[in-house]
Chain A
Amino acid sequence: MPAPTDGRFHNDAQLISTAQNVGRNMDLLRFATAGSVDDGKSTLIGRLLLDSKSIFEDQLEAVEATSEAKGYDYTDLALLTDGLRSEREQGITIDVAYRYFATPNRKFIIADTPGHVQYTRNMVTGASTADLGLVLVDARNGLTEQSRRHAVILSLLRVPHLVLAVNKMDLVDFSQEVYDNIQAEFTSFATKLNIPDLQVIPISALAGDNVVNRSENMDWYQGPSLMHHLENVHVASDRDLVDARFPVQYVVRPKSDEFHDYRGYGGMVASGVLKPGDEVVVLPSGMTSKIAGIDLFDSEITEAFPPMSVTIRLTDDVDVSRGDMIARVNNAPKPSQDIDAMVCWMTNEPLRKGQKLAIKHTTRNGRALVKDIQYRLDINTLHRDTESAAANGLGLNEIGRVQLRTTVPLLCDPYSKNRTTGSFILIDEATGVTVGAGMINDRT
Chain B
Amino acid sequence: MSQTHADYRLSQLDQLEAESIHIFREVAAEFEKPVLMFSGGKDSIVMMRLAEKAFYPAKIPFPVLQVDTGYDFPEVLATRDNWVNRLGVRLIVASVEEALAKGIVVDDGKTSRNRHQIGTLLAAIEEEGFTAAFGGGRRDEEKARAKERVYSHRDEFGQWDPKMQRPELWSLYNGRLHAGEHMRIFPISNWTELDVWHYIGREGIEIPSIYFSHQRSVFERDGMLLTESDFNPCKPGEEASTRTVRFRTVGDLTMTGCVESTAATVDEIIDEIAVARLTERGATRGDDRFSEAAMEDRKKEGYF
Contact = CB atoms under 8 A, between A and B. Distances in A.
A437 B169 contact: yes
A22 interface: yes
Contact of B170 (A27, A128, A298, A433): A128
Contacts of B9: 25, 27, 236
B167 interface: yes
B204 to A, nearest CB: 13
Interface in B47-88: 52-59
Contacts of B232: none
Nearest to A84: B162
Interface in B137-170: 139-140, 142-147, 162-163, 165-170
A427 B278 contact: no
Contact of A15 (B142, B162, B197, B275): B275
Interface stretch (A35-43, A51-59, A215-223, A406-414): A51-59
Contacts of A59: 143, 279, 282
Contacts of B221: none
A360 B172 contact: yes
Contacts of A66: 292
A121 B11 contact: no
Interface residues of A, number: 86
Contact of A23 (B6, B13, B56, B279): B13
Interface string A234-276: 0011010100000001101111101100100011100001000
Nearest to B143: A83
A335 B273 CA distance: 50
A128 B59 CA distance: 33
Interface residues of B, number: 76
Contacts of B275: 12, 15-16
B140 to A, nearest CB: 5
A252 to B, nearest CB: 5
B36 interface: no
Contact of A420 (B166, B171, B198): B171
A225 to B, nearest CB: 22
Interface in B175-201: 176-178, 189-190, 192, 194-195, 197-199, 201
Contacts of A72: none
A425 B174 contact: yes
A84 B29 contact: no
Residue of B169, B202, B283 contacting most chain A CB atoms (<10 Å): B169
B176 A309 contact: no
Interface of B: 3, 5-6, 8-19, 21-22, 25-26, 28-29, 52-59, 139-140, 142-147, 162-163, 165-172, 174, 176-178, 189-190, 192, 194-195, 197-199, 201-202, 267, 270-271, 273-279, 282-283, 292-293, 296
Kindly list the 6 A-B residue pairs having the minimum CB-CB distance in the complex, ordered from nearest. Answer: A23-B198, A432-B176, A83-B143, A19-B274, A58-B282, A28-B12
25 contacts: A19-B194, A23-B13, A28-B11, A28-B15, A85-B293, A94-B163, A95-B147, A95-B162, A100-B190, A107-B12, A129-B170, A236-B9, A241-B5, A249-B29, A250-B25, A250-B29, A258-B57, A273-B3, A295-B56, A298-B56, A298-B57, A307-B15, A363-B26, A423-B170, A437-B169
